[in-house]
């Protein structure tokens, strides 16, 4: 969630470079920022609320002196409000150590009480500040930095990625990791420690991913690694990984927001998912085994769509679980297939499920957009999205790519096990191959209609998004997009379940968006969805329909508005066009309301804490 960048060089000043690389990670956390640098024997710190990118543009980091050792952080608040005092880095009581931290220190209150009893005064309300004071105390008592970090991390409960600079070690950025990512690179001129490989751009494609329990000393020409055993650090060799596919630096170009740019990149994301050779899908799902799919947020709704696709196309028993609840519901043993879905590959709750499943002998398949992420490295099977960087907090092109990959897995599995005939498999493949062109035309021609709807209805405060079958999780996902960026109440509902209670909320002020399947391809599901729409309209509830153009003309009268979608007659393609329509509606409503679209309040792109 938060961004970490630490940089060191014997030859060049790195203060500005650290700030620039930090701005690259601002999508990871953006409610506050801070930068520390070492000059002579003193640490200087500047920090504030808001955007580090904006601070850079306004020259507010110019107060920091030039330095060959710097440490920066963008914050997504967990403990303590959004204030400059709570922004990282945190200085120790003697100003000898600066620390930034991702994660949650669960026993921070007990550690704070202990330190306060020693006369140490805290400057923030965060859990992270305890680490700075503990480190300084160990150093004052004669410990080396390596041993001070080992002793400090041994006292911490929870998860952490720590980065440290100190007056006593002017050439080194230190790091320590437990369940929160850290990655290292150096090129002889600069060494860098970061929470995200995107910050390593221009340094080296040879990178070191730290293991849990690791401590690292990063210099311009080396990275010494240690592992903590019994509160003591011992040298350990870690292999470097060559990044075969780098996360390229994203450019917003002429688009006003990342969100609309990334919606326009959806056709390319579809093509990338279709370019993955069919052999990648072979042998992933064993016969006669329940498949478990997990994801968090939008990825959970994608997992839910996946269970429908696996059942309908491959006859496979599958169940989708939200990652944060899977520990209470998943029963995974040796050989059981688990499919984990995550844009970043660093989602904490999803990784916890993966680690537990692997320990039980389950076989992990990763669907992920970030090469060499933690989830990718844990997996036996990998279905890489290749969608390119996604910067907007709301996931758009990435979830479409994930659905395409799950559909391809279902198609190849169904073709292999005989659930699909060759003719059926070919028809679905042909539909998918037309999808990128369909989306390109749809986005180009329908945006104006969606924007007109948004201007007309953006003020509405309460919404239902309704769907049946595979369009039920699509409705939930569309509702999630809507509330994420508009800050209005919206919830997804199953059209069949709707009349069992939630219909009581309907009146002329409560609006519904109904996602409709094709009348031609799915007449029973269409009729059942239309019945729910009729019940809402009978109670004076306005309904906006979103569905294929093959709707009978006589049925249009029940809708306040109807947004026509291109007709494929294929559940996969029609599902994806529905998803993109929901994304456009959320975007244009937020645009009309003047919301912060790319970085909505309280949200972060990659949730790396429990």
Residues with catalytic annotation?
2, 605
Structure-block tokens of residue 321: 């679980």
Number of other residues whose CB lies within 10 A of the CB of residue 98: 30
Contact between 393 and 262 (Cβ < 8 Å): no
Structure-block tokens of residue 47: 């920090």
Following DSSP, what letter does each residue of 338-378 receive, concatenated?
EEEEESSS--HHHHHHHHHHHHTT-EEEEEESSTT-HHHHH
Question: Residues with Cβ < 8 Å from 491, sequence gap 6 or more?
Answer: 463, 464, 465, 476, 479
Residue 253: C-alpha distances to residues 56, 200, 256, 421, 436 (Å): 19, 22, 8, 45, 21
Instruction: Give 7's strand partners.
Output: 70, 192
Contact between 78 and 609 (Cβ < 8 Å): yes
Contact between 365 and 383 (Cβ < 8 Å): yes
Contact between 341 and 351 (Cβ < 8 Å): no
Residue whose C-alpha is closest to residue 9's, from 185, 176, 188: 188
Strand arrangement of the beta sheet that strand 511-515 belongs to: 489-494, 462-467, 511-515, 543-548, 561-565
Q: How many helices (H) and strands (E) does the chain have?
A: 16, 25
For the CA atoms of the chain, what is the radius of gyration?
Answer: 26
Burial 486-517 (b: 16+ CB within 10 A, else e): bbbebbbbbbbebeeeebeebeeebbbbbbbb
Contact between 128 and 164 (Cβ < 8 Å): no
DSSP code at position 297? T
Question: Residues with Cβ < 8 Å from 38, sequence gap 6 or more?
Answer: 44, 67, 68, 69, 70, 165, 167, 170
């Amino acid at each position: 969630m938060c961004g970490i960048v630490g940089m060191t060089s014997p030859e060049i000043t790195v203060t500005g470079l650290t700030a620039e690389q930090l701005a690259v990670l601002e999508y990871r956390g953006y409610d506050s920022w801070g930068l520390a640098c070492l000059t002579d024997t003193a640490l200087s710190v500047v920090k504030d609320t808001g955007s580090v990118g904006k601070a850079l543009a306004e020259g507010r980091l110019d107060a920091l002196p030039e330095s060959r050792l710097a440490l920066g952080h963008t914050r997504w608040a967990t403990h303590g409000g959004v204030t400059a005092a709570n922004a990282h880095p945190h200085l120790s009581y003697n100003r000898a150590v600066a620390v930034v931290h991702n994660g949650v220190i669960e026993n921070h209150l007990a550690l704070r009480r202990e330190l306060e009893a020693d006369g140490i005064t805290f400057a923030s309300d965060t859990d992270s500040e305890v680490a700075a004071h503990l480190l300084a105390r160990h150093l004052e008592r004669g410990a080396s930095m390596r041993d001070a970090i080992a002793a400090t991390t041994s006292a911490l409960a929870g998860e952490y990625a720590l980065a440290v600079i100190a007056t006593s070690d002017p050439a080194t950025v230190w790091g320590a990791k437990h369940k929160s990512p850290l990655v290292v690179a150096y090129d002889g001129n600069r060494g860098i420690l970061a929470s995200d490989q995107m910050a390593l751009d221009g340094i080296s494609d040879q990178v070191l991913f730290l293991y849990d329990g690791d401590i690292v000393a990063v210099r311009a020409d080396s990275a010494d690694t240690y592992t903590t055993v019994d509160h003591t650090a011992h040298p350990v060799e870690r292999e470097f990984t060559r990044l075969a596919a780098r996360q390229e630096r994203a450019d917003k170009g002429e688009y006003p927001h990342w969100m609309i740019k990334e919606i326009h990149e959806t056709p390319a994301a579809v093509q990338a998912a279709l370019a993955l050779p069919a052999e990648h899908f072979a042998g992933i799902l064993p016969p006669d085994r329940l498949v478990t799919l997990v994801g968090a947020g939008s990825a959970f709704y994608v997992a839910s769509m996946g269970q429908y696709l696996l059942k309908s196309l491959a006859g496979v028993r599958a169940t989708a679980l939200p990652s944060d609840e899977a520990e209470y519901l998943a029963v995974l043993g040796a050989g059981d297939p688990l499919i984990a879905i995550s844009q970043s590959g660093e989602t904490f709750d999803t990784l916890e499920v993966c680690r537990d499943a692997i320990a039980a002998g389950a076989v992990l398949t990763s669907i992920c957009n970030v090469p060499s992420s933690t989830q990718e490295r844990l997996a036996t099977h990998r279905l890489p999205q290749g969608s390119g960087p996604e910067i907007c907090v709301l996931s758009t092109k990435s979830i479409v790519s994930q659905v395409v990959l799950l559909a391809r897995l279902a198609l190849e599995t169904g073709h292999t096990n005989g659930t699909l005939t060759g003719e059926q498999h070919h028809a679905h493949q042909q539909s998918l191959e037309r999808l990128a062109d369909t989306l390109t035309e749809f986005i180009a021609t329908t945006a104006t209609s969606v924007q007109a709807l948004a201007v007309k209805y953006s003020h509405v405060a309460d919404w239902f998004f309704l769907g049946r079958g595979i369009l039920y999780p699509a409705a939930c996902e569309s509702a999630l997009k809507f509330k994420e960026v508009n800050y209005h109440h919206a919830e997804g509902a199953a059209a069949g379940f709707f009349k069992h209670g939630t219909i009581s909320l309907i009146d002329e002020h409560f609006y519904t968006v109904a996602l409709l399947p094709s009348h031609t391809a799915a007449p029973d599901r269409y009729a059942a969805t239309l019945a729910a729409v009729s019940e809402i309209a009978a109670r004076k509830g306005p309904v906006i329909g979103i569905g294929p153009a093959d709707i009978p003309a006589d049925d249009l009268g029940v809708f306040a508005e109807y947004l026509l979608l291109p007709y494929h007659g294929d559940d996969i393609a029609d599902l994806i066009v529905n998803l993109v329509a929901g994304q456009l509606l959320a975007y244009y409503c937020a645009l009309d309301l003047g919301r912060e679209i790319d970085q909505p309040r309280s949200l972060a792109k990659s949730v790396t804490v429990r």
